[in-house]
Structure 1
């Protein structure tokens, strides 16, 4: 079949393992070896500013397939590429043909579609003379080539290493996106009562409760404690988070020790074991006011040793201690459907029952201090390895040219289907990663799980490998994103 493309045409060009990408056919440099296959064109890719030899069979006219293909990829780099080509079209006054899309074509096989003849492109992006294009293979497998600076003639659009596109060029061979900004967490409507909480018909305890830490999980828990009629005093390191809870009936205290002094039972839910210990042993901390008539419940994700240290300190002052680890994330905390794993003082567990009913759908008493922390880490290790497997599978599907939405649709019909896989799979497809469970918290739990394995002399090779994947994603800047953003590391 005859090749209908020519120099200057704007196209959608598809490399193996990548989504169709907006580009332009340009002349190849003399020192660039052309592949042996027929009907190949040298393509300049907008946004990433790279080059590759692409067969005509893997190209589509830009305007004719714009409506269908411009929404096929949701990554920030792809959107940037579309913005670049649209800006180029506008600044060069390229005529947009009035064409109907061929909606019956579902693959990238070559068809006798003549690209619109009325488009005229005045400029051609060129490489600097000293750019090395010698690594374009003659085997027909296209490889993108990096360029340092590109200027489109007869256009005011100049792209230089200092422009906003420079980040996109750093990892061009893998089409690595620039850092995805973490979506802002919508404000919590403290006054809204979930149907789940209404159905529980909880009779609140007459005791006074304190709560230290109003993070993602803590905020949802306190919301349900207030809406179920409990008396709650709150403290948070950044006091501005307390405002909505005060308006809903909570009382804000100045220090953690003030909360302990005013409350009968105080819950703590902070970011990690070190912060949990600082809350207890630090200035104006828990130990200053703990006494025989006080109870302290540690809900922070910690290891058994840290929990034991806190328990001994509380007990030495006559207080009661309970560790109450939670399974669930933002949605479960706000709806009151967490799973609570408790260990320690049994009488304190009983006194907290109305609170646990407001927080979750089940609470388990697991015996002596440390058991709940161990159980939580076991479950977190399983969840972390599962999420890494999901992320790698979705990355593999994308690189293989499969539609991720098809992967999810089929997976939901198999024994792999579970709320975690479905929820995080959808987050990967959407690509925004709004925080329900911070990635850095999962990495912390994987690290603690490995330490527990070391103590028990149990090899955990899968956990160790998964921890490295999460550590790298955290280093890339995704620590405060949702745990599903581990996909960024596995994909790129």
Structure 2
């Protein structure tokens, strides 16, 4: 079998049996033995994740969400580097937003723009139809969602919780369990992008979980981001964010960066479908980065 490997300098053909495939990646310094034993075309061709997506930019198209398309009351937990501009964009779009942060002073700029304030996550969740959370790490995400006075205490049937923090799959599944136990819906939607894309409404959302909640919050994601992807079950969004981080960290050698059995299907069937949308741009993928 012959593989075409695209580099910035040339296109070169490599035999799948050549040892050259075992180099180029610090993530996988040696080609796993199961690749030597099985031809690549014996791998499953059905994608791991049921992928659906929409590429959208309200800034680029001049389109804004209609008020009657939006959930009535929106909560936002975590007014950090990312959460503040995301909540600001919702306010600028005319959304009814209630905010919370451990340090209340960080909510003041949002309050001056018209946001409401609640002193705890559970009170935000109790007063809102959909609550977003953008926290710094998995521990904070768990505590704010499931701890004392956590958002889960204010959730119930008909409500939704959308965690846009970057957390591992296990943490996301734990939060999902606590939220679903209240009768509410859960969606993980980690973002690709940093402060500037958050300010400009150019984030990319990697969503997974309750599909009906995804459909409900899609207009809100379109306000805060340029693209959104629905990836199926809870945990898939976190896994895809890991893949994106791997690519961004090793963009020059990403063709080899995740040659493990778990990620091959990403590489062959999923990642290449929408890789060009991500925040590190199109040049690396097109071979024009250098």
Fold shared per TM-score above 0.5: yes
Q: Kindly report which structure 2 residues correspond to 1:103-142, keeping only aligned pairs within 5 A, or say none.
A: none
- Residue aligning to 1:201: 64
Q: Distance in 1 between matches of 2:263 and 2:61?
A: 47
- Residue aligning to 1:398: none
Q: Kindly report which structure 2 residues correspond to 1:254-265, keeping only aligned pairs within 5 A, or say none.
A: 254-265=119-130
Q: Kindly report which structure 2 residues correspond to 1:423-462, keeping only aligned pairs within 5 A, or say none.
A: none
Matched, 1:316 2:186: no
Matched, 1:304 2:169: yes
Give the C-alpha shift of residue 217 in structure 1: 1.1
Give the C-alpha shift of residue 266 in structure 1: 0.1
Q: Kindly report which structure 2 residues correspond to 1:54-93, keeping only aligned pairs within 5 A, or say none.
A: none
Matched residue count? 202
Partner residue of 1:223 out of 77, 81, 88: 88
Paired residues of 1:343 and 1:368 also in contact (CA < 8 A): yes
Paired residues of 2:165 and 2:190 also in contact (CA < 8 A): yes
Structure 1 pair 197–236 and aligned structure 2 pair: CA distance change class (3 A): farther
- CA displacement 1:312-371 (0-9 Å, x = unmatched): 111111110000111111110000011111000011001101111100111111111111
Structure 1 pair 203–271 and aligned structure 2 pair: CA distance change class (3 A): same
Give the C-alpha shift of residue 384 in structure 1: 2.1
Give the C-alpha shift of residue 200 in structure 1: 2.3
Q: Compute the TM-score of the two structures, normalised by the length of structure 1.
A: 0.39
Q: Distance in 1 between matches of 2:61 and 2:116?
A: 23
Give the C-alpha shift of residue 224 in structure 1: 0.6
Give the C-alpha shift of residue 242 in structure 1: 0.7
Q: Distance in 1 between matches of 2:60 and 2:244?
A: 25
Give the C-alpha shift of residue 199 in structure 1: 1.4
Give the C-alpha shift of residue 456 in structure 1: 5.4
Q: Kindly report which structure 2 residues correspond to 1:24-39, keeping only aligned pairs within 5 A, or say none.
A: none
- Residue aligning to 2:224: 359
Q: Distance in 1 between matches of 2:86 and 2:61?
A: 15
Structure 1 pair 277–230 and aligned structure 2 pair: CA distance change class (3 A): same
Q: Compute the TM-score of the two structures, normalised by the length of structure 2.
A: 0.65
Paired residues of 2:58 and 2:64 also in contact (CA < 8 A): no
Paired residues of 1:268 and 1:297 also in contact (CA < 8 A): yes
Give the C-alpha shift of residue 195 in structure 1: 8.6
Give the C-alpha shift of residue 256 in structure 1: 0.4
- Residue aligning to 2:6: none
4+ residue stretches of structure 1 with deviation over 4 A?
Answer: 455-458
Q: Kindly report which structure 2 residues correspond to 1:174-193, keeping only aligned pairs within 5 A, or say none.
A: none
Q: Distance in 1 between matches of 2:71 and 2:134?
A: 22
Matched, 1:214 2:79: yes
Paired residues of 2:64 and 2:223 also in contact (CA < 8 A): no
- Residue aligning to 2:109: 244
Partner residue of 1:266 out of 131, 150, 159: 131
Q: Distance in 1 between matches of 2:225 and 2:152?
A: 28
Structure 1 pair 348–382 and aligned structure 2 pair: CA distance change class (3 A): same
Give the C-alpha shift of residue 252 in structure 1: 1.1
Structure 1 pair 233–386 and aligned structure 2 pair: CA distance change class (3 A): same
Structure 1 pair 284–197 and aligned structure 2 pair: CA distance change class (3 A): farther
Q: Distance in 2 between matches of 1:340 and 1:213?
A: 17
- Residue aligning to 1:344: 209
Q: Distance in 2 between matches of 1:203 and 1:357?
A: 11
Q: Kindly report which structure 2 residues correspond to 1:460-475, keeping only aligned pairs within 5 A, or say none.
A: none
